[in-house]
Amino acid sequence: MRRLLPVLLMTTSILVAACEQSSAEVMPQRQEALAARFEPTAFTVEVFGHGRPVIFIPGLGCPGAVWRDTVAHLEGYEAHVLTLAGFAGTPAITGPLAATTREQLARYIRDRRLDRPVIVGHSFGGFIAYWFAAAEPALAGPTIVVDSGAALGGEDADANAAVGRQARGLWRDADDDQFSQQVRTIFGQMAARPERLAPMLELVAKSDRRAIGDAIYEQFTTDLRPMLSAIRSPVLVVLADGGLQDGMRTHADKVPDHRVVVIPGAKHFVMLDEPDRFYAAIDGFLEAHPRSSDAPIAAL
């Protein structure tokens, strides 16, 4: 036994040293893996539910909560609800918001290994949805654009920029009272059921006015129409029953696989004004384009 004791002590020391070395190698790898998780700066994300992934992008100044009822309606989906930087009280970023969101959304999808998520965007978010589907055809699943076009201006780029600068100044240069009044007046006219929009306006009024102005300017000076023919995903365009629908239809016609649905009686906030008709449109579209269970996740 006395002869075995030194051997046991030596063996124990070797095992302890080996364990310490192994832990020292494993822990940094775990920390590195955690540190590598991508966290976007162009938007914040709330995730609800489980199932087929769907990404919701709200419009100008709006919080992700504008999609709350739609998220509750969808069963069997994992909803990734965005709020864009500078909107609804979130910190703004420098640089073009739509372009940065489109780039970071691609990285977010790869990082979270989302398999061709459904993309849903309203207004400014619909503009981003068009852009993402055209620029990232391997990542985008079925795309739903709600009352939005692929450009705000016409064919004259200089004229578009001039109007964009004027619109940007209207928001960026407003004082606190003017900004709050503009939110109530301009946004308030965009809903047929203003009582449903009212809770959102309080959050819109917390937006960074420079972020709103810059986003409008970016939309006036970015023409996505030449890109629309590159979209490979099926696209549903849900439009308000108003005077802008003809122009938006013309944009949608450039998408190879598309369908346009006009919701009678709805203004710009279609999903709040006529939720049942809106749900019927998106339900039918998603049923027609089910998740492909055997499709590989896009390469990282």
Task: Report CA-CA distances (Å) from 79 to 66, 104, 110.
Answer: 13, 17, 16
- Which domains are assigned to the chain? 43-150+225-288 (3.40.50.1820)
Q: Say how many C-beta atoms besides its own lie within 10 A of residue 18's C-beta.
A: 10
pLDDT digits (tens, 9 = 90+) for 55-99: 999 999 999 999 999 999 999 999 999 999 999 999 999 999 999
Q: How many Å separate Cα 298 from the centre of its chain?
A: 18
pTM (predicted TM-score):
0.86
Residues of the chain with pLDDT under 50: 1-35, 294-300
pLDDT in tens, 127-160: 999 999 999 999 999 999 999 999 998 999 999 9
